[in-house]
Chain A
Amino acid sequence: MESDEEEVREERLPLSRRPEWSDVTPLPQDDGPDPVVSIAYKQDFRETMDYFRAVYRADERSSRALRLTQEAIRFNPGNYTVFLDLGFCYVWHFRRQIIESLDADLHEELDFVERIAKSNSKNYQIWHHRRWVAGKLGTDAAIKELEFTKKILSLDAKNYHAWSHRQWVLQALGGWEDELDYCRKLLEEDIFNNSAWNQRYFVVTRSPFLGGLKAMRDSEVSDTVEAIMENPENESPWRYLRGLYKDDIQSLTNDPKVSSVCLKVLSAKNNYVFALSMLLDLLCYGFQPSEEFTEAIGALRTSDSEPLDSDLGKAICHVLQHIDSMRANYWMWRKSKLPVAV
């Protein structure tokens, strides 16, 4: 359907000079009574939009109209006001209508989107269009979509559009089987990849193949604790850990693996901000610390002149005020909100 031959920019023939368009009168834009004079629209872009308006108004759902929408899309207005001014969203909308009317090949359409998405991976219209096409193809498209988002993510690990699309694909079209493995692989490449941790959570909680959060919890906690020990300054596994115990604070407090990793990190006396923060929360949830914890906190004191607060929670806040000074006010407030020591 779509020609793969690209016209070289310099040789582009204006639409007004193409014989196949000679029967169409282009429609200029109506900007209303007190219009702004736009100096930035290139003549060929403006002309393409004029011809588009004509076919759109006539509701001509033909193959030449489909090709015209492709030409218009290639102009890709970067300036958002240009996008709104010219009603560019109609181009995508009409393209979808033409595809339906002509019953165009949807796999070729996916290929078209892939070709333009690589250099425009943050364009909302492209992703929306992709989702529409994939939705029409149904579960058959699942593999292709997972492959596609994987490619995009290999170029830009945190592309929100790509992740969002991937999650939609999993839920709407399936393909969960290898997702946890994919997350694990990403984390092997970069343990700090927060998007991968996020996706891991998504899979663990929603995959119909894994049995749910509670069933997965133990193995996940083990993996997470391992990640924490490798890089205690990595905030992602700490957050993940809390997530694993969402809506089940008691289990968090009671899990010896959690309190033990805090103690280990504190004892190492390096990159312990998150460990302290976790321990503080555990205390607030009712955790009963052993002597080892008190000693570990005592060892972290920066100035020996100050006596260690008998209340461990207060002592922790005190340390945090110093080592996380950007949030000193927050830690002061936490101190004021501590439950009274029994």
Chain B
Amino acid sequence: MTTSDLPPYPPIDPTTFDLIIIGTGLPASLISASSSAAGKSVLHLDPNPFYGSHFSSLSIPDLTSFLNSHSAPHSDENLTLTTRPLFSDVEISNFAPDLLDQHLRKFNLDLSGPRVLFCADKSIDLMLKSGASQYVEFKSVDASFVGDGDGRLWSVPDSRAAIFKDKTLGLMEKNQLMRFFKLVQGHLSENENNGTENGAKISAEDLESPFVEFLSKMKLPPKIKSYPLDLLLVKVAFLVSSCDIFHVNVDYFVLFSICRIVLYAIAMADYDQENTEIHKDLLKTKDGIDRLALYNASIGRFQNALGALIYPIYGQGELPQAFCRRAAVKGCLYGKNSALVTALMRVGVGPADASDFSAKGRGVEDSGSYKGVRLASGQDIFSQKLVLDPSFTVPWPLSSSPCEQMQDTFQVLSLSDDKVKVARGICITKRSLKPDLLNCLVVFPPKSLFPEQFTSIRVLQLSSNLAVCPSGMFVLYFSALCDEVNQGKKLLHAALDALLQLLVSGNSENSSTFQSEDTEHVEPTLLWSALYIQELTKGGQIGSVSSTPMPDGSLNFNDLLDATEKLFQNMYPNEEFFWETIEPENSEDDGGLMLET
């Protein structure tokens, strides 16, 4: 459905705002809510018939259409604002059309999965502070695992108590672990209390060093081959025979190397931490400790959350919508199906002589600076500032003549510095990766699936209890960072193979259906898949125009939140990002503490 098929919308009134935002992704929605709460008049538009943009959750047909339309260069002569495709190499396969066709709309598939929230995340506190938490409900992610590429899943401990209950840990190993956690704990409480109690503190030098080196120092070695191989096999055999390997939580994880679990499934490192040549990819100790702290603080924070992670019912797309709703409560005006044609620039005002144009960019504020937008409806709307969806690049105005350098800066501004991309995949399956589990996280550390796998692949399985798919089905999201498309595709296919292997082997009683020669009665495990490469943009700002970032490759929203807050501070240096704690939407009589007068 194109904009022209829809009935004409009434013209927007008023026609001047403090801020216009195009695109309703999460960063844009945060800016909208915060600006509106700060008293700015905001117009928030989205060219799509839904809210959420690249952060939304969509049905199969809508997701397919979005990926396809955003992977081809947009050719529309009416559009003088350039858009660039942010997806590429989209591969969508439907393996069970008979089954799926009747259920196509019963899915809420994340465009930017896998994504979860840690219970102690900044995003949770932000939701509570802003009042957006009233509109979203969460359920627990039941468990986390590390995959080893051989079809086994190793439990990630969800509590320190669980580690120490473990019977297979030797005394020495337990002591090592205890010392390590004591040190981490001491370091963290140090920072909170600003006092020295036991002197248990991590040195500044250590903090700057790579986390993997620090872990090694703590006698938590990364390499599994540091264990004698025969001893390892004996231990594994003992475990397999002595317990139900898929139902016991933590009894065997230590054999798979605590260090790798900490690095990739708790600290969520993306790059191979043992590849010491590429230093920039190494996680620093201070960051590793912070992530450990986040994980630790998340466990047990909420009743009914089994581990550290939670996920919003109906999909990630609920989050931008919740913030949009807060913005609307504070007066922001909303519009869907509002396509942008061009940004309007101030023309003819400023230095008459082009040579006056100073390198300091004085010209940006004068001639050629932003004044408003023209919508596809034909209406011109004006504002002080503009925030754009990452798919737009703003061309310099046609009539004034800036120096080349400014033009380049503008276009380059929004692209990621190091050309890293995110390879993403989505699968719909009929079985769980683990028979009794609904929602879980699986991490395939670097090199676990194939030798050239330089980045971690993270997989999130979600079930119908989150209202993201029909009952009896599961949705798998997986992603990995990559430098270029082929590498990305290779990562995705390796993940897909490993996952299928898990699905089949984990349900060995039913494996005959998958391997069966009799194609008529084969019930496919994998019903549908989508693989695609997504560009990363960091977002940025020039003058009064800002660009929001694309969803990043992280598992949670922390980095995106930080980037958004920075954008907001640049736009409104005198305002605080969500300064007020907002009472529930209900009447003032029902909200808050019942005071006795």
Q: Is A39 an interface residue (CB 8 A)?
A: yes
- Per DSSP, chain A at the interface is loop
The interface-forming segment of B149-157, B519-527, B579-587 is B579-587
Give the contacts of B442-474 with A (CB-CB under 8 A).
Answer: 465
**Interface 0/1 of B129-161, CB less than 8 Å to A:** 000011001111000000000000000000000
Q: Given the known A-B contacts A74-B596, A119-B597, A120-B594, are A38 and B303 also in contact in the complex, defined by CB atoms under 8 Å?
A: yes
Count residues on chain A whose CB falls below 8 Å from chain B CBs. 30
- Alpha-carbon distance A302/B462, docked complex (angstroms): 69
**Interface 0/1 of B286-311, CB less than 8 Å to A:** 00000000000000001111000010
- Alpha-carbon distance A148/B587, docked complex (angstroms): 22
Q: CB distance B596 to A76 under 8 Å?
A: no
Q: CB distance A76 to B593 under 8 Å?
A: yes
Chain A: CB-nearest residue to B465: A34
- Closest chain A CB from B588 CB (angstroms): 8
Q: Given the known A-B contacts A37-B305, A38-B304, A122-B587, are A9 and B134 also in contact in the complex, defined by CB atoms under 8 Å?
A: no
Q: Is B199 an interface residue (CB 8 A)?
A: no
Q: Is A307 an interface residue (CB 8 A)?
A: no
Q: CB distance A119 to B138 under 8 Å?
A: no
- Closest chain B CB from A45 CB (angstroms): 10
**Interface 0/1 of A72-106, CB less than 8 Å to B:** 01111011100000000000000000000000000
- Closest chain B CB from A69 CB (angstroms): 12
**Interface 0/1 of A8-32, CB less than 8 Å to B:** 0100000000000000000011010
Q: Is A58 an interface residue (CB 8 A)?
A: no
- A39 contact set on B, CB distance < 8 A: 119, 124, 127-128, 133, 138, 302, 310
Chain B: CB-nearest residue to A29: B303
Q: CB distance A46 to B465 under 8 Å?
A: no
Q: CB distance A37 to B594 under 8 Å?
A: no
Q: CB distance A31 to B138 under 8 Å?
A: no
Chain B: CB-nearest residue to A9: B593
Q: CB distance B594 to A36 under 8 Å?
A: no
**Interface 0/1 of B558-597, CB less than 8 Å to A:** 0000000000000000000000000110110111111111
- B63 contact set on A, CB distance < 8 A: none
- Closest chain A CB from B586 CB (angstroms): 5
Q: Is B406 an interface residue (CB 8 A)?
A: no
- Closest chain A CB from B127 CB (angstroms): 7
- Closest chain B CB from A277 CB (angstroms): 33
Q: CB distance B594 to A74 under 8 Å?
A: yes
Q: CB distance A115 to B596 under 8 Å?
A: yes
Q: CB distance B583 to A28 under 8 Å?
A: no
Give the contacts of B95-129 with A (CB-CB under 8 A).
Answer: 119, 124, 127-128
- Alpha-carbon distance A31/B304, docked complex (angstroms): 8
Q: Given the known A-B contacts A34-B139, A39-B138, are A122 and B590 also in contact in the complex, defined by CB atoms under 8 Å?
A: yes
Q: CB distance B596 to A37 under 8 Å?
A: no
Q: CB distance B595 to A78 under 8 Å?
A: no
- B310 contact set on A, CB distance < 8 A: 37, 39
- A34 contact set on B, CB distance < 8 A: 139, 465
- Alpha-carbon distance A118/B597, docked complex (angstroms): 7
Give the contacts of B331-377 with A (CB-CB under 8 A).
Answer: none
Q: Given the known A-B contacts A37-B139, A37-B304, are A120 and B593 also in contact in the complex, defined by CB atoms under 8 Å?
A: no
Q: Is A295 an interface residue (CB 8 A)?
A: no
Q: CB distance B583 to A78 under 8 Å?
A: yes
Q: CB distance A76 to B594 under 8 Å?
A: yes
Q: Is A340 an interface residue (CB 8 A)?
A: no
Q: Is A123 an interface residue (CB 8 A)?
A: yes
Q: Is B313 an interface residue (CB 8 A)?
A: yes
- Alpha-carbon distance A47/B134, docked complex (angstroms): 21
Q: Given the known A-B contacts A37-B138, A37-B305, A38-B303, are A75 and B133 also in contact in the complex, defined by CB atoms under 8 Å?
A: no
- B134 contact set on A, CB distance < 8 A: 40, 79
Q: CB distance B304 to A123 under 8 Å?
A: no
- B133 contact set on A, CB distance < 8 A: 39-40
- Closest chain B CB from A149 CB (angstroms): 16
- B465 contact set on A, CB distance < 8 A: 34
Q: Is A121 an interface residue (CB 8 A)?
A: yes
- Alpha-carbon distance A172/B579, docked complex (angstroms): 51
- Alpha-carbon distance A46/B302, docked complex (angstroms): 11
Q: CB distance A119 to B595 under 8 Å?
A: yes
- Closest chain A CB from B180 CB (angstroms): 29
Chain B: CB-nearest residue to A78: B591
Q: Is A35 an interface residue (CB 8 A)?
A: yes
The 10 closest A-B pairs by CB, nearest first: A76-B594, A78-B591, A115-B596, A35-B304, A78-B584, A122-B589, A37-B138, A37-B305, A78-B590, A37-B304
A-B contact pairs, 26 of them (CB 8 A): A6-B596, A29-B303, A31-B303, A35-B139, A38-B304, A39-B127, A39-B133, A39-B302, A46-B303, A73-B594, A74-B593, A74-B595, A76-B592, A78-B584, A78-B586, A78-B590, A78-B592, A79-B584, A80-B586, A80-B590, A115-B596, A115-B597, A116-B594, A120-B594, A122-B587, A123-B589
Instruction: Mark A residues whose CB is within 8 Å of B.
Output: 6, 9, 28-29, 31, 34-41, 46, 73-76, 78-80, 112, 115-116, 118-123
Given contacts A34-B465, A78-B592, list 8 more A-B pairs with CB under 8 A. A9-B593, A31-B303, A35-B304, A39-B124, A39-B133, A78-B586, A116-B594, A122-B587
